[in-house]
Amino acid sequence: MNTIEVTVTGAAGVSVDEVRDRVPELVEELRERLDGCGDGLTLPGYAPGERNSTAFQVMGAQLRAIHAYQREHGRPARVTIECAGEDAARLYKQIYNFYISTTKDARLEDKSWD
């Protein structure tokens, strides 16, 4: 089963505000990284910006691209997104739960959803 994990490492990520105008280019770069990876890939997470809508746009595109690639190619088995803090990790989980998970069991859970 292919998974996407979100962890907090404290490593500062690029703000979504800095890359919001480059989403198609970033998705293409991500696909190239996915093509070249083996069974696992670790990616830096984006830092939330001033508006949650920008975070949903940028982080959502990243998550959708990963999920689509995993469905199409059956790999990588695990993608880990490393976030600077809990705020970024929480946004990634919310976006994943809204747009990608199709069942309650598939959610990235911290039990705050129930």
Residue 109 lies in a domain: no
Give CA–CA dist 27/43, Å, rounded. 13
For residue 31, the Cα-to-chain-centroid distance in whole angstroms is 13
Q: How confident is the model at residue 106 (pLDDT cuts 50, 70, 90)?
A: low
Number of domains in the chain: 1
**What average pLDDT does the segment 85-101 reach?**
88
Residue 60 lies in a domain: yes
Residue 13 lies in a domain: yes
| Structure confidence by residue, pLDDT tens digits, 8-35 | 998 778 999 999 999 999 999 999 999 9
CA angle centred on 109, ends 54 and 30, rounded to 5° = 45
Residue 114 lies in a domain: no
- pTM assigned to the model: 0.87
| Domain carrying residue 77 | 3-104
The answer, yes or no, to whether residue 58 has pLDDT greater than 80, is yes
Residue 112 lies in a domain: no
Count CB-CB contacts under 10 A for residue 13: 19
